[in-house]
Amino acid sequence: MTRRVVVTSTGMITPIGNTAEETFGAAIEGKTGFSRSDVLQDAKWGGHAAAVHIAGLLQGFDSTQYMEAKEARRTDPFIVYSISAAQQAWTSAGLPERMDDDAGNTFGTLFGVGLNGVGHILDVQDLLEDRGPRRVSPFFIPAVIGNLSAGHVGMRFNLRGPNWTPSGEGTSGAYAVGEGLTHIRDGRCDRVLAGGAEAAVHTMVVSAYLNAGVHTTNNDDDKTPVRAFDKSRSGFVIGEGAGALILEEADAAQGRGAKALADVVGFAARQSGELDWDPNAETMAAVIRAALDDAGLKPEDIDYINPHGAGTVAGDEAEARAIETVFGAHTKNVHVSSTKSLTGHLIGAAGAVEAAICAHALHSGKLPVSAGIRDAAFDLPFVTAPKTAEMRHALSLNFGMGGGHTALVFKRAG
């Protein structure tokens, strides 16, 4: 018999909230989290006409709620965000402070990261050039390598099962949740702490995205600069943050009295075979169908779609085509909203945050709002104002630079 996998708690640190409750509350109200970035505003753009000044930045986040200031200083912010979101989820789940060794052996940790400690690396490079190799701290390596996102989380709670870091740019967090599902479903773990994190608001990163034509230069509108699926869309805005989900085998969760927010019932991943900078319509359609097959569902069973929805010209068009291809006449019955229009593109954290939002949407019956749609470019039933709905199943889609596509399927618990 296939093991049932449930989400029992979440943690989120995003530009629209420093907790899961704040983030989801802002999402269903359509509140955005964009602000002026000191890092980007102070950058030497060299008169570049397309300079970017805004980002999806955390507001009022205090890492000392989760760790000592000395510990936070020794590592990159993406690891700080990972630990903080994981601690939120852990506390909310009502788990013991640390697992005993027996329980820890069947508890996995999968935490996706896209760009690792890129800002920290560049800062240390400057230090090396200015002051020489003796000034490079031995803590540099553990501060920036991606696997210590999962590593620090596992060490904190004595999780001794599989511990690794999926890295697929914008699909990283989704891979963590999807592989968490398969680890539990296949009997390799009883529980998995799955998530994703990113802290890459840096001039070099934004410059690369700009030159690829996927980051907006819309500095004048810091409320709705990301206009996913709108005719005026011009790209995404980079953001930072983390998301974490506690996944448990249903009987194990019930045995400790935990209640489920939602079930994770399907996952699929596909590669387009090209070095794509935007979703590919055919590959996105294929990954949706594969995830539905994995869940044992038909297209008409889906009630809500949280698309990749980054706001790029070509990507949104490809994704809209894929949704219309798979869902056909049922498309008009599906609620669609891009939460990247609220948070910005959180890269490695995106898939985990959006998965957590889907779980809360199913649990509450409240739909996240898609911001920035003034003149929709596609005939999809977008959620543009606060709305409630009866939902049984939700679909979360993600894309990673280089052609990776993922789809996760969730079911309302009960």
pLDDT of 51: 76
**For residue 48, pLDDT beyond 70:** no
- Distance, CA of 375 to CA of 273 (rounded, Å): 33
Tokens 């050039």 locate to 129
Name the pLDDT band for 46 (thresholds 50, 70, 90). Answer: low
Tokens 């995205």 locate to 209
Query: Using an 8 Å Cβ cutoff, are 149 and 164 in contact?
Result: no
What is the percentage of the chain residues whose pLDDT exceeds 90?
82
Domain ranges of the chain: 5-255, 263-412
Q: What is the average pLDDT across 10-29? A: 98
- Distance, CA of 139 to CA of 178 (rounded, Å): 31
**Structural tokens at position 178:** 């999807």
Model pTM?
Answer: 0.97
Name the pLDDT band for 336 (thresholds 50, 70, 90). Answer: very high
**Structural tokens at position 59:** 């507001």
SS3 content of the chain, % helix, strand, coil (to 5): 40, 20, 40
**Which fold, 5-255?**
Peroxisomal Thiolase; Chain A, domain 1 (3.40.47)
- Distance, CA of 373 to CA of 47 (rounded, Å): 31
Collapsed DSSP state (helix, strand, coil) of residue 128 = helix
Q: What is the average pLDDT across 385-393? A: 97
SS (H, E, C) 265-282: EEEEEEECCCCCCCCCHH
Tokens 């819309």 locate to 218
Q: Which of 276, 367, 354, 272 is nearest to 309 (CA)?
A: 354
Query: Do 263-412 and 5-255 fall under one CATH topology?
Result: yes
> CATH assignment of 263-412, given 3.20.20.70, 1.10.645.10, 3.40.1280.10, 3.40.47.10?
3.40.47.10
| Mean pLDDT, the chain, integer | 95
Range from 75-84, 134-143, 356-365 carrying the lowest mean pLDDT: 134-143
Name the pLDDT band for 99 (thresholds 50, 70, 90). Answer: very high
| pLDDT tens sequence across 300-311 | 999 999 999 999
